[in-house]
Structure 1
Amino acid sequence: MKKLGLIYNPVSGHALFKGKIDFLIDLFQRHGIVLTPYRTRGGGKDDLGRFLRDIRPEGVLAAGGDGTVHAVVNAMLESDTDVPLGILGSGTSNDFATHLGIHGDWESYVERIAADESRRVDLGLLEGHGQYFINVVSAGMLTGIAHEVKSTYKNALGKVAYYLKGIGEIPRLRSFSLRIAADGVQYEEEAFLFVIANSPVVAGMKQIGHDIAIDDGMLDLLAVKKTGLPQFMSVAADLFSGKSVTERENILHVRAKSFEIHTEEELCSDIDGEYGPLLPLRVRTLPLALSVYC
């Protein structure tokens, strides 16, 4: 039988996934696939790379939110586990899975996994830190909200909890000086925040920009320039309603293979919804570095 590793977060989302494990094991077995599960514990107690090296799976499943997928992707790269990744989104935010069109119809998804339907996608790398990201790295206003919302609120309200927290942050809008080198081209802006995205789905917002692709060997930087509160609210309204903002005059949009980001003040980054390193950052694309079931 074909063997897949299943890495699941027992507390993500509404903490309901652990009640579906027997259903999934049976579903996969009916397709000739055996699952080897690993229950994450968090707090630096997991050694996912060792788990993957020990079981040598023919595919890997990540069950949880964006943070779980981030951890699994890094473990796969660290352990040289170049097999397809499947995403069973069960967290509050499942941005990359949403972009791939992977939703709650797990029976259909398991059929596609059994048929080995997969594609290669790009990854991002934070150089000097050895961290890979599958979807986004960001910093500035609103970008750390995921860490500040209590898990009880996330489980009860889902993405609404993020939006409510974000609205509460708006009165404290504060800009910073941003210096960017994108494939060697220099930009300077006073900005509220920036994101470097692999897909157009970020923080539950389904279309931050047009023509953002996960397999073009490029990353897209969007920075919200310093502006008045009405203009900022207008950008936020477009984002929350799923409209692209890349064409707006108060948005800097740059597509490149590599970025260097510097600021005049100390800022902490966010990487796939998890705490990232302090700026400055050096980011580059790893073209088609990962295979995903889709």
Structure 2
Amino acid sequence: MKKNILFVINPISGGKSKLNFAEKVFKHLNLNLFEPSFEFTKWHGHGIELASKGLADGMDIIVAVGGDGTINEIASVLEGTKFTMGIVPFGSGNGLARSLNIPLNEVGAIKRLNNLHYHSIDSGLFNNRKFFNIAGIGFDALISTRFAENVKRGFWGYFKTSISEISNYKHQKYRIEIDGKLIEREAFMISLANSSQFGNNAHIAPFASLDDGFLDVCIVKPFPIYQFPVLGYRMFSKSTHKSKFVEILKAREIKITREYPSAVHLDGEPIQMGVELNISIKPLSLKLLN
């Protein structure tokens, strides 16, 4: 029997048009295996509603067509179920898709679905909110907030915003409990990495794995501002672990207490949270068509 496959499309992700996307699906998807249908998101969070409705309507597979934020919405519905998710990357960074070696062009990603290759990955919980690529506290959460305020996305948008914000940014003190062991750190930012990279091949946690049952806790300590380009270089050369300003620890359960409430980000999407943060890993809880 054919599998019912729903493509949930974010029409504005990555700044790229999706008007002819359905035409490409009918041309490159194996229609002997799949019966496709399509929905477009119309507001932030709409993907959650569309994915939930898709499951109720008997869909076997739901494909996120967009960036990490769109993926997060669809995956949040499918995680912990028997249903399968697919990804056609259309974001500005495509961190999760890159980590899964999914082709970044839509034709290649559509054709990849025809292989019917299934793979399960871990997912993260952050104060009961789900994430699948990287969550963050501190400077990267601030930059995610600026992006949500309609700053131009993509690598150069990230770079320019970072430069404009870094001189005024104040680090915090954190109490961090890693699988029951307490440490205290001053930090510029803390990343909770399920995959190795934010996107655009900027690797904050070079050895993070999507299916090892651990999160990589990446603590970036305060550093002289002239070291900022060096840390950027280390991310793109997968060598952050060699920096004296970066500490990386693997963990299943993390409790963080910070000095004051502020934004965190979950897969690049900012959300305000308080001083007490509880993060954990759910091993192999999301089934992907990859």
TM over 0.5: yes
Shift of the 110–258 alpha-carbon distance from structure 1 to 2, 3 Å rule, reads same
Give the structure 2 partner of residue 175 of structure 1: 171
Is residue 22–residue 38 contact of structure 2 (8 Å, CA) maintained in 1?
Answer: no
Partner of residue 223, structure 1: 219
Tell me whether 1:254 sits opposite 2:249 in the alignment: yes
Counterpart CA distance in 2 for 1:151 and 1:18 is 22
Task: Tell me the TM-score normalised to structure 2 length.
Answer: 0.90
- Paired position in structure 2 for 1:120: 120
The equivalent of 2:78 in structure 1 is 76
C-alpha contact 2:51 2:77 (8 A) present in aligned 1: yes
CA shift, 1:152, in A, is: 7.4
CA contact (8 A) 2:93 2:200 kept: yes
| Residue 103 (structure 2) aligns with | 103
The offset of 1:106, in angstroms, is: 4.2
Letter in 1 for 2:99: H
Segments of 5+ residues of structure 1 without an aligned counterpart are none
Q: Which region of structure 1 is more displaced relative to structure 2, 90-99 or 198-207?
A: 198-207
Bigger CA drift: 107-116 or 224-233?
107-116
1:207 corresponds to: 203
Cα distance in 2 between the residues matched to 1:232 and 1:200? 19
| 1:39 paired residue number | 40
Residue aligning to 2:273: 278
Q: How many positions carry a matched residue from both structures?
A: 286
- Measured after TM superposition, the shift of residue 143 of structure 1 is 2.7
Partner residue in 2 for 1:58: 60
Q: Is the 8 A contact 1:65 1:94 kept in 2?
A: yes
| Distance in 2 (alpha carbons) for counterparts of 1:17 and 1:247 | 41
Counterpart of 2:135 in structure 1 is 137
The Cα shift of 1:29 comes to 5.0
Cα distance, 1:167–1:217 mapped onto 2, change above 3 Å = same
SS in 1 for 2:124: strand
SS at match of 2:13: coil
CA–CA distance in structure 2, aligned partners of residues 40 and 242 of structure 1:
36
Deviation at 1:283, TM superposition (A): 0.7
- In the superposition, relative to structure 1, how do residues 15 and 105 fare at CA in structure 2: closer, same or farther (>3 Å)? closer
Aligned residues of 1:63 and 1:89 also touching (Cα < 8 A): yes
Which residue of structure 2 lines up, in the alignment, with residue 91 of structure 1? 91
For the aligned residue pairs, the C-alpha RMSD in angstroms reads 2.1
Distance in 2, matches of 1:205 and 1:98, equals 8
Q: Which letter does structure 2 place at the counterpart of 1:41?
A: K
Amino acid at match of 2:60: E
Which residue of structure 2 lines up, in the alignment, with residue 26 of structure 1? 27
Q: Contact 1:31–1:114 at 8 Å: present in 2 too?
A: no
Conservation of the 8 A alpha-carbon contact between 1:208 and 1:242: no
Deviations 1:43-95 (A, max 9, x none): 45551343123222221110001100000111223xx6422211101111210
Say if 1:152 and 1:197 are closer, same or farther in 2 by CA, change over 3 A: closer
Counterpart contact for 2:78–2:286, Cα < 8 Å: no
Is 2:195 the partner of 1:196?
no
Residue 4 of structure 1 aligns to a residue in which SS?
A: strand
